[in-house]
Amino acid sequence: MCLILFAIDQHPDMPLVVAANRDEFYDRPTAPMHWWNQPVVLAGRDRRSGGTWLTVTPEGVVTAVTNFRDGLAEDARYSRGELPLLAAQQTPDTLAGALGSSRDQYAGYNLIRLNTHRGWYFSNRDAHPGRLIPRGIHGLSNHLLQTPWPKLVRTRQRFADCLRGPANSLHDALTDIMLDDQPAPDASLPDTGVGQATERFLSSPFIRSDTYGTRATTVVCVRRDGTISVSEQQWQRGGVRGDQARFEWCV
């Protein structure tokens, strides 16, 4: 994922709401979101590495990873696509130990694990990795949690506005706000070592091109009555709308 917005205990009926865009090269083979047998999670699959970018467990725990963009060569022993799967199967305490001892064996990443009352965040680029995330509305892109990049700040406010709207149309409303393809002004661009033209290209919440762009928008809503609903809208080259899948079950 390259942009994730989430709210913990900020909606009267839904204590966990997540909206996320996954950005990737279009020629990287990918399977759409589906139920896995081992581990038992709802997730898409990166057919090249075998991993994923976001999972939802049957109990409604959400895990997701984003790359940390710092312009450094991404030479690593393990794929970051393993991390959401690990987080779906382990407690934060167990994860903290495992990730702390292997942080140099992955390229830069951010990992979140969310449930209906709190979250947990780990980055191998964070000076103090392994933090609890309190109730509230949060955002994560390709830097540390809540780093105020323009696309994160702008979309986080729209995300918050959506939470005050009708619950029965929340999936569609959140998908719509993730379609913002306006780049940030040059004066507001971060400097992550990739050059201004690339910073500008990557600065919009939704990215369109013929080679690299937003491949999927995922929305997860966990209700207080135990109902879990998930939607995944796929996007093709140039941001053309592809297939959509919806899942719903009750814990």
- Tell me how far apart the alpha carbons of residues 214 and 224 are, in angstroms, rounded to a whole number: 31
pTM of the model: 0.96
- Tell me how far apart the alpha carbons of residues 159 and 245 are, in angstroms, rounded to a whole number: 21
The whole-number pLDDT of residue 17 equals 98
Cβ atoms of 133 and 145 within 8 Å: the answer is: yes
Domain layout of the chain by residue ranges: 3-250
Contact residues for 242 (Cβ-Cβ < 8 A; gap 6+): 233, 234, 235, 236
> Tokens standing for 120?
């947990």
pLDDT grade for 166, boundaries at 50, 70 and 90: confident
The long-range contacts involving 73-78, CB below 8 angstroms and separated by at least 24 positions, are 74/107, 74/108, 75/107, 76/105, 76/106, 76/107, 77/105, 77/106, 78/102, 78/105, 78/106
- Tell me how far apart the alpha carbons of residues 187 and 79 are, in angstroms, rounded to a whole number: 34
Please compute the mean of the pLDDT values over residues 230-234 and round it to a whole number: 98
Pick 168 or 185 by higher pLDDT. Answer: 185
Q: What is the Cα gyration radius of the chain?
A: 17
For residue 133, what are the β-bridge partners?
Answer: 119
φ, ψ of residue 174 to 5 degrees: the values are -70, -40
The whole-number pLDDT of residue 214 equals 98
Condensed to tens digits (0 to 9), the pLDDT of residues 111-121 reads 999 999 999 99
Contact residues for 211 (Cβ-Cβ < 8 A; gap 6+): 25, 26, 27, 237
Phi-psi region of 15 (alpha: psi -120 to 50; beta: other; left: phi over 0): alpha
Cβ atoms of 101 and 95 within 8 Å: the answer is: no
Q: Buried b / exposed e across 183-222, counting CB within 10 Å, b at 16+? A: bbeeeebbebeeeeeebebbbbbbbbeeebbbbbbbbbbb
Indicate if the pLDDT at residue 75 is higher than 80: no
Please compute the mean of the pLDDT values over residues 86-91 and round it to a whole number: 95
Alpha helices for 56-134 (secondary structure H)? 83-89, 92-102
% of the chain surpassing 70 pLDDT:
99
pLDDT grade for 225, boundaries at 50, 70 and 90: very high
The whole-number pLDDT of residue 174 equals 98
Mean pLDDT computed over every residue of the chain: 95
CATH number of 3-250: 3.60.60.10
Please compute the mean of the pLDDT values over residues 20-32 and round it to a whole number: 97
